[in-house]
Amino acid sequence: MRPLPGPPPPTSTLQPVPTANTIQPTPTYALPVLCAITAHEAAHGSAARHYGDGTAAFLGRVTLNPLKHIDPIGTIAMPLFLYIATGGAFVFGYAKPVPVNFGQLRHPKRDMVWVALAGPASNLAMALVWGALLIVLDGVGVTEPFFLKMCQAGVLVNVVMWAFNLFPLPPLDGGRGLVGLLPRGAALAVSRIEPWGFFIVMGLVVAGVVSDLWMRPLMGFTFHLLDFVLAPLQALIG
């Protein structure tokens, strides 16, 4: 899944060299993207099972097998079409959504927050793993550009997915989490947006609102956070 924004200013040691677009679809991105969407969807299913809904587990979606999460249209056809049609300026895609029956959760309104946030949280964790791997490879003297760029791609892909999915509008994870946090009346009002939420989000992406007011600030903060957490490892190996 990729919106328009370019990376934040190059203040993070984990960040790839800035380019015109957030993610350039090259072979170095194939494995990071596949891992990111797989972990994201599996995390939703795992959290739902933990809080009482076994729907995703019953359907075999609590798995790290990427084939279970790939949507032929959203994961392959749409990104490919948009990449060709826009010359790589705008690429967007999605995985097959994990089915969650919120009514089966032990505390539906509260637990839906944790189920929603589990996906983005998995991407933040994966960004940390890719960042640690980048530091280790660099520290032991690996100079093969493909592997180093793949680690950078892994950080960037997961930071993008973390930030974009936290946007507080359903059907994105941030929007569903917001529904769980708001008082009942306000939550009902926000939840009614969901049938049109996808089109609203896309309009905001194209208009640059998501990029300028949400993605850039949150991604910049996240890169600084990753640098801070990984600083001890950097000092140890470096």
Q: What residues are annotated to the active site?
A: 41
Residues 6+ apart with CB under 8 A from 154: 31, 32, 35, 36, 126, 127, 129, 130, 133, 134
d(CA 236, CA 160): 28
Inter-CA distances, 59 with 48, 73, 75, 101, 150, Å: 13, 20, 19, 12, 32
Helical (H) or strand (E) element with 212: none
Q: What is residue 183's three-state secondary structure?
A: coil
**Among 234, 226, 223, CA closest to 137:** 234
